[in-house]
Every structure is written in structure tokens, then in C-alpha cells.
A and B are shown apart, each in its own frame.
Chain A
């Protein structure tokens, strides 16, 4: 069975600080995909990034960056110079084979980020 752990339940930072959200995953698959989603107060999940298990390059998109380390089964997300609009719940997710033999998306429990002005 696959599992995603986001150990940080809630984080508060002051605006302009950098913050890293941790994600650790477990899977027996050799091919899998990792995702990050943002859930603002409106409730809709917004896709941020997808990474496949064969691509360990870090990625940067504006103030967002992701660090994928297969050796530690981690896919961490860093926001640089945080802004109030970054306040949301962030979910890490893993796509891999379920016990039923089909692919499923497994979510972590989420990290609630509060950016204080």
C-alpha cells in the first residue's frame, strides 16, 4: 500500500519569510508520480506540480521550488518570500498502483500554512 506523510499540520510564518513544506512517501512501485496541490479557503484544489519517479531534477517556478529526493522518499515544497495570498492548505499526493491493481491518487493529510502580514 502507498502512503503519504505530511508531518507538519500547521505552519505560521511572517510575510516575506521562506517556508518549506515537507512530504515523505512510501510506495513499492518503481514508476510513480508525485503532486502538490493548494487548497485556498474557497475549497477547490489547485494543481501546482507533477513529478515522475525518474525525474529527480529540482524545479523552480517563480517563488515556488520543489526538491525531490528519491533516496529519502521526499518531495518537499519551498515558498520563497511568502505572501499573504499563499495562506492555504497544501497537499502532497502520490499516484501509484493500489491493492486492487489500478492507479490511485493517495493524499497526505495536508499542511495548513498561515502567512501573517
Chain B
């Protein structure tokens, strides 16, 4: 089945540690995105990538890093510089190569990160 797979579903991190969230898609989509969702809030864009080896900062990129070495993979690292990392993280992809967003984005099931 085609889709987006995020792992793990639940993740616990100690303060001061970096942690990497995985996102893999087999939809052959060029564009991939990372969003953060906090309770009662909408989704806020962290990073996006329109093509392999290229990515752009979104609205809340500070404390996060990404890579796009393969078309199907877009991992997100939450660094120790992120002051409030506890949140629900959603990965998405869309077919667009130029980021026009005139097609829908498909979402993974999310990773819930908790700092302990």
C-alpha cells in the first residue's frame, strides 16, 4: 500500500538530548513537509523540501534540523536547542515538484514526542 510511515509513534526524550523522527513515503512525491501540532493549535510548518538535497525553513524551524538525501525519506531531528519540544509531529508529502500546493498533502500518523 502506498502511504507515509512515521516512526516511532511515541518517543520519550531526556532534556538535552537530540532525537530523530523518521518519515518515509512510497508515493513517489517530490515535496515533503514537517508540521508541529500543539493542543488547541493548528499545524505549524517546521521545514519543507521540494526536491532531493534541498529544503527550506518554515515558520518555526529554530531548534530543528532536517535532511533530504533520498526522495522517499525526510527525517527530522529535534535538537537540544528546541526549548519546548513536547508536541505531536506530523510528516506530509505532496506530488508537487515546484511547491505550488495545488494538490492535497498526504499525512502520516504522527509521532508524539515527550520530554521527560
Contacts and interface: CB of A to CB of B under 8 A. Distances in A.
Interface of A: 4, 9, 33, 35, 37, 42-47, 50, 52, 91, 95, 100, 102-105, 107-110
A30 to B, nearest CB: 14
Interface stretch (B63-71, B74-82, B98-106): B98-106
B90 A103 contact: no
9 contacts: A43-B88, A44-B110, A45-B107, A47-B106, A91-B43, A104-B48, A104-B101, A105-B33, A110-B41
Contacts of B106: 47
Contacts of B52: none
Contacts of A52: 102
A45 B90 contact: yes
Q: How many B residues touch the partner, as a band?
A: 20 to 34
Contacts of A95: 100-102
B40 A109 contact: yes
B35 to A, nearest CB: 8
Contacts of B100: 95, 103
Contact of A105 (B45, B108, B109, B112): B45
B8 to A, nearest CB: 13
B42 A91 contact: yes
Contact of B105 (A4, A47, A100, A102): A47
Contacts, number: 60
A50 B58 CA distance: 22
Interface of B: 33, 35, 40-45, 48, 50, 56, 58, 88, 90, 92, 96, 99-110, 112
Nearest to A46: B107
Nearest to B100: A103
Contacts of B42: 4, 91, 107-110
Nearest to B108: A44
B32 to A, nearest CB: 12
A46 B105 CA distance: 9
A65 to B, nearest CB: 18
A43 B56 CA distance: 25
A43 B109 contact: yes
